[in-house]
Amino acid sequence: MKVLTEPFRIKMVEPIKMTDEPYRKMALQNAGFNPFLLSSDDVFIDLMTDSGTSAMSQNQWAAIMIADESYAGAKSWTRLEKVVKDLTSMPFILPTHQGRAAERIIYGLLGGKGKVFLANSHFDTTRANIEFTGARAIDLMPEESLDSFKYLPFKGNIDLDKLEIAILEIGAPNIGAIIITVTNNSSGGQPVSMANVKAVRALCSKHGILLILDGCRIAENSYFIKQREAEYSQWSYKDIAKEMLSLADIFVMSAKKDGLVNMGGLLCLRNEELNQKCVNQLIISEGFTTYGGLSGRDMEAIAVGLEEVFESDYLEYRIRSTAYLGEKLKEIGIPVIWPIGGHAVYIDAKKLFPKIPIEQFPGQRLVCELYTVGGVRSVELGSVMFGKNDSSGSLIPASQELVRLAIPRRVYTQSHIDYVVEVFENIKELTTAEKGFKIIYEPPFLRHFTARFEKLYS
Ligand SMILES: *Cc1c(COP(=O)(O)O)cnc(C)c1O
């Protein structure tokens, strides 16, 4: 069958408001031309993130009703702990309110001045939590992966040669950990191969360095491994994930992605001593060990979500529906990162708007056009998010100027996606625009969330 069908039917509906272009122009101006500052009520199709935006299943809602809200030793905790132990083979499981809380705990303990973290790509909150401790975060992507349009089956892989050189130059004792993010969010949602993680594991063992798996999309990564890594073509998605997790010392997960829930996170460890330090931090800032930052109902929903996410009907629909949007955009000439990743379609805004200088943020222009023309909210992943200012205030640009259309799980239907494609077709200066934006306010960390802009075109 060619038609992509959702493997579910709709039992409850959430109305979305339709607005017109003059209304959206005003709303965007009031938001300082930063879609993060828009009211979601003014957004028609929200592709800002796949994080915490999943639709839960009837089984998740049913589990919520039987949750145990006891402070200590709740049944809902026992259920979640069992599911996560089975998946990770790790003995120590800490629940946190979301991924970055787990990051703050672990990088607070492993980081500090003089420490260096090496990763395929550090996600923005990962980098912020590392740099906040005074440590450095270095991305080690292969040069060929930076070619936006080159097909590579595992474009999220870390560069093993660069990694080996970095370990020798920096010295193992100065390395806080090596982090592998699956799928690689900051570089196109691209998968990492099992062979790559195995090779990193070998280097970690050889040099006595910790391996952290930032695996909030580990089910989606498993899909690509089954399709593209011959050795695993007969494995179940869950067994592939288990195999990858067995290679890591520490697992950090934002449950807001493949946990199929709206809030939650996990920090899982093998080392008892390190776990004890993490537990102390957890109790100070998140909560007691059997709930962390979560209520019993959150834990029930995660426990069910972590089972559902590995179902083959779900995963196949999930990855194919993301590819559907990417392929349609490619057909109408939009420069999409190729191949299409798991949770999102990424557009190379520098290629789409070659005349807009990087200092005027071509990605921000696209994000604002998509909202104004169609009420579609997306996010810039370029020099607004990852750029920095040098001491004289000039921009040190990011390595790429991307815009991400993230697909919430089980939320939008094929007709919504067809609408998004039409919005692109209706952008007037698509490809010929010459001007973008200037930042007029920015905070010291994670500036993209609250920055405000001045529009440099009419
Ligand atoms: C979302 C995400 C995080 C942070 O998780 P939150 O739940 O948003 O705090 C960390 N790493 C990656 C790769 C992510 O995608």
Distance CA 40, CA 16 (A): 10
Is pLDDT at 186 greater than 80 in this prediction? no
- pLDDT attached to residue 148: 84
pLDDT in tens, 407-418: 999 999 999 999
- Give how far Cα 101 sits from Cα of 108, 265, 302, Å: 10, 8, 16
- Give the residue-averaged pLDDT of 230-234: 98
Predicted model pTM: 0.94
- pLDDT attached to residue 430: 85
- Give the residue-averaged pLDDT of 187-194: 90
Does the Cβ of 123 fall within 6 Å of ligand 1?
yes
Which residue puts its alpha carbon closest to atom 6 of ligand 1? 99
- Give the residue-averaged pLDDT of 427-436: 92
Query: What is the fold, at CATH topology level, of the domain defined by 21-50+311-455?
Result: Aspartate Aminotransferase, domain 1 (3.90.1150)
- pLDDT attached to residue 405: 97
Place of tokens 């993680």: 197
pLDDT in tens, 28-40: 999 999 999 999 9
Tokens representing residue 360 in the block? 């005027």
Return the SS3 of 23: helix
Query: In the structure, what pLDDT confidence band is assigned to residue 393 with cuts at 50, 70 and 90?
Result: confident
Distance CA 247, CA 211 (A): 8
Say whether the peptide bond before residue 96 is cis (omega within 30 degrees of 0).
no
CATH number of 58-308: 3.40.640.10
Give, for ligand 1, the residue of 185, 186, 409 to mutate: max count of ligand atoms closer than 8 Å to Cβ: 185
Structural contact between residues 445 and 356, judged by C-beta atoms closer than 8 angstroms: no
Is pLDDT at 252 greater than 80 in this prediction? yes
Query: In the structure, what pLDDT confidence band is assigned to residue 443 with cuts at 50, 70 and 90?
Result: confident
Structural contact between residues 347 and 366, judged by C-beta atoms closer than 8 angstroms: yes
Structural contact between residues 254 and 265, judged by C-beta atoms closer than 8 angstroms: yes
Which of 224, 267, 270 has the alpha carbon at shortest distance from 247?
270
Which residue puts its alpha carbon closest to atom 5 of ligand 1? 99
Distance CA 380, CA 35 (A): 9
Distance CA 446, CA 403 (A): 17
- Give the residue-averaged pLDDT of 252-272: 98
Return the SS3 of 407: coil
Least confident stretch, 107-116, 183-192, 345-354: 183-192
- Give the residue-averaged pLDDT of 95-102: 98
Query: In the structure, what pLDDT confidence band is assigned to residue 310 with cuts at 50, 70 and 90?
Result: very high
Query: In the structure, what pLDDT confidence band is assigned to residue 146 with cuts at 50, 70 and 90?
Result: confident
**What value does the mean pLDDT of the chain take?**
96
Higher pLDDT, 458 or 366: 366
Return the SS3 of 327: helix
- Give the residue-averaged pLDDT of 332-341: 95
The residue type at 116: V
Exposed (0-12), middle (13-18) or buried (19+): which is 419, by Cβ within 10 Å? middle
Return the SS3 of 254: strand
Does the Cβ of 76 fall within 6 Å of ligand 1?
no
Domain boundaries, the chain: 21-50+311-455, 58-308
- pLDDT attached to residue 187: 72
Query: In the structure, what pLDDT confidence band is assigned to residue 433 with cuts at 50, 70 and 90?
Result: very high
Give the distance (Å) from ligand 1 centre to CA of residue 99: 5
pLDDT in tens, 38-92: 999 999 999 999 999 999 999 999 999 999 999 999 999 999 999 999 999 999 9
- pLDDT attached to residue 96: 98
Give the distance (Å) from ligand 1 centre to CA of residue 268: 15
Give the distance (Å) from ligand 1 centre to CA of residue 61: 23
Tokens representing residue 70 in the block? 């006891």
